[in-house]
Amino acid sequence: MRESLNKETTNLLAKRIRKGDIKAFDLLYHIYSQKLYGFAFSMLKNHDDAKEIVQDTFLKIWEKREMINPAGSLQAFLFSVSYHTAIDLIRKRFKDDQYRTYLQAQFHENESVTIEEPACYQELIRILDNVIGELPEQRKKIYLLSREEGLSHKEIAEKLNISVKTVENQMTLALKTIRKQLISNDLLGLLLLTIFL
């Protein structure tokens, strides 16, 4: 069952977790674990890895609970930790030949691309950010709600007060644009397309 929290409730939850309240932490897990799983799976394309990211994320949240800013966005903090945890795993896995072969198989449409060196991840993220930044405003908002916040098409439609069909169409156009612009970036484009789209 999914639940949503208003800002006041989120702030209170954050304060309780900062003080080491395990019940508040359990509630946080109950509300966000599935969304984090979907987010991690969209990056890693592997169920076991996505589960591992969720567990690692909540472990890190608990260990760093004193860093939580009650006035900030608890959800943003969660997804930021999850994102960086997933990127760390990708860095580790990318050193493995079999994993690089797996990435190539995921992107079978461009058979000329080969992976020879580990990617510069800061450059990788910069390229993706630039491409996303050029999307029309509503399309960009829909894409980010889906990929960064892990919302379903129905949840995005309700949040933006538009139809599910509009969300689906805008996501299709967003992904088409991103794929088209990244496909020429060889290794970086391959990795981005594989883990983010």
Q: What is the 3 state secondary structure string of 82-117? A: HHHHHHHHHHHHCCCHHHHHHHHHHCCCCCCCCCCC
- The pLDDT, as a whole number, for residue 41 is 82
Give per-residue pLDDT as tens, 58-103: 999 999 888 888 777 788 788 888 888 887 787 777 666 676 666 5
Kindly give, in sequence order, each residue whose CB lies less than 8 Å from that of residue 180, ignoring residues fewer than 6 positions away. none
- The pLDDT, as a whole number, for residue 149 is 74
- The pLDDT, as a whole number, for residue 83 is 81
* Rounded Cα–Cα distance for residues 6 and 173 (Å): 31
Class of 97-196 in CATH: mainly alpha
Hey, where are the domains in the chain?
7-87, 97-196
10-residue mean pLDDT profile of the chain (197 residues): values are 62 90 92 88 81 93 86 80 82 68 55 39 64 90 84 92 95 83 52 50
Given this chain, do its domains 7-87 and 97-196 carry the same CATH topology? no
* Rounded Cα–Cα distance for residues 79 and 86 (Å): 10
- The pLDDT, as a whole number, for residue 171 is 92
- The pLDDT, as a whole number, for residue 42 is 75
Q: Let me know: does 155 contact 91? Beta carbons within 8 Å.
A: no
**How many angstroms separate the most distant Cα atoms in the chain?**
54
- The pLDDT, as a whole number, for residue 116 is 37
- The pLDDT, as a whole number, for residue 99 is 65
Amino acid found at 71: A
Class of 7-87 in CATH: mainly alpha
* Rounded Cα–Cα distance for residues 173 and 166 (Å): 11
- The pLDDT, as a whole number, for residue 57 is 93
* Rounded Cα–Cα distance for residues 130 and 124 (Å): 10
Helices (H) then strands (E): counts for the chain: 10, 0
- The pLDDT, as a whole number, for residue 137 is 94
Q: Let me know: does 196 contact 128? Beta carbons within 8 Å.
A: yes
* Rounded Cα–Cα distance for residues 191 and 52 (Å): 20
